[in-house]
């Protein structure tokens, strides 16, 4: 189900993003962008980030995009609705775009392949062998399963480490909700328990202090106020210079 929803939303987002780029008409571009942002909000909901998804819909689609549409409508006089770019520019930019995407894709697929494969093997083994929650599978069984299905040998120490990390986390994703976000913003609750950061042995990770995001939150609020005042001053009604006289 997760896979089906992901593919539907990913296709929507991808096609609409390409639509934003390809369309020459500025108003149609804004509409493609609307669907891209709505699809992205759907992806956030699929990933379990309810608050971020709702904020995306409220602020991005309902605020920023409406502002963009205002701008489009205020400036969409006759010749500016369709501003064409030359074919040479399109060709060069498309080639560079494909190259950039290639670089990013190759980086993704060659990043820590051993570590990723080991973790996937471990997750798979734990899922397959944990039939009874009261009776966790033995380390030797896990090692055998991974050796049989993945051809990787993992030593006992790493299996123990991984299991201790999982036990320490006790699946925070199940308890992750907006209340946790709010409490971590106020510093009332330790935001993230000790877990394996990439490349760091879980036993050597220092005890994490309470993560409070109150200060960045306040900074962003003041930033918004300043930007509001600045934008209101910049866009104030002025006598239009060089007005067209019929």
Other CB atoms within 10 A of residue 225 CB: 10
Residues 130-159 that bind other proteins (CB under 8 A): none
Q: Decide: is 126 part of the binding site for other proteins (CB under 8 A).
A: no
Q: Choose, by CB under 8 A, the member of 35, 43, 152, 161 that binds other proteins.
A: 43
As a dihedral over the C-alpha atoms of residue 13, residue 18, residue 23, residue 24, rounded to 10 degrees, the angle is 130
Of 163, 68, 65, nearest in space to 123 by CA = 163
Q: How far is the CB of 96 from other proteins (least distance, A)?
A: 8
Q: How far is the CB of 219 from other proteins (least distance, A)?
A: 9
Q: How far is the CB of 157 from other proteins (least distance, A)?
A: 20
Q: Decide: is 192 part of the binding site for other proteins (CB under 8 A).
A: yes
Q: What is the DSSP string of 173-209?
A: HHH-SHHHHHHHHHTSS-SS-S---TTS-GGGSPPPP
**Phi/psi of residue 153, nearest 5 degrees:** -100, 125
Q: Choose, by CB under 8 A, the member of 87, 131, 134, 234 that binds other proteins.
A: 234
Q: Choose, by CB under 8 A, the member of 74, 87, 88, 134 that binds other proteins.
A: 74
User: ∠ at Cα 95 (93, 97), nearest 5°?
Assistant: 65
Q: Choose, by CB under 8 A, the member of 160, 207, 224, 245 that binds other proteins.
A: 224
Q: Decide: is 59 part of the binding site for other proteins (CB under 8 A).
A: yes
């Amino acid at each position: 189900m997760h896979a089906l929803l992901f593919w539907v939303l990913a296709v929507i987002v991808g096609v609409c993003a390409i639509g934003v780029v390809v369309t020459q008409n500025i108003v149609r571009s804004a509409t493609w962008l609307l669907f891209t942002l709505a699809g992205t909000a759907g992806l956030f909901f699929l990933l379990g980030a309810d608050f971020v998804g709702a904020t995306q819909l409220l602020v991005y689609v309902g605020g920023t995009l409406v502002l963009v549409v205002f701008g489009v409508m205020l400036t969409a006089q006759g010749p500016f609705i369709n501003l064409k770019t030359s074919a040479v520019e399109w060709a060069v930019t498309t080639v560079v775009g494909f190259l950039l995407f290639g670089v990013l894709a190759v980086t993704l697929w060659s990043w820590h392949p051993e570590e990723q494969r080991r973790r996937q093997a471990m997750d798979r083994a734990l899922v397959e062998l944990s039939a009874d929650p009261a009776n966790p599978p033995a380390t030797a069984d896990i090692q055998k399963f991974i050796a049989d299905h993945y051809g990787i040998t993992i030593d006992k120490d790493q299996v123990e480490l991984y299991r201790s990390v999982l036990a320490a986390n006790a699946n925070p994703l199940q308890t992750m909700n907006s209340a946790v976000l709010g409490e971590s913003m106020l510093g009332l609750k330790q935001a993230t328990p000790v877990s394996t950061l990439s490349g760091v042995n879980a036993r050597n990770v220092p005890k994490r202090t309470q993560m409070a995001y109150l200060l960045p939150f306040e900074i962003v609020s003041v930033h918004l106020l300043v930007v509001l005042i600045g934008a209101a001053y910049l866009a104030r009604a002025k006598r239009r210079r060089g007005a067209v006289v019929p």
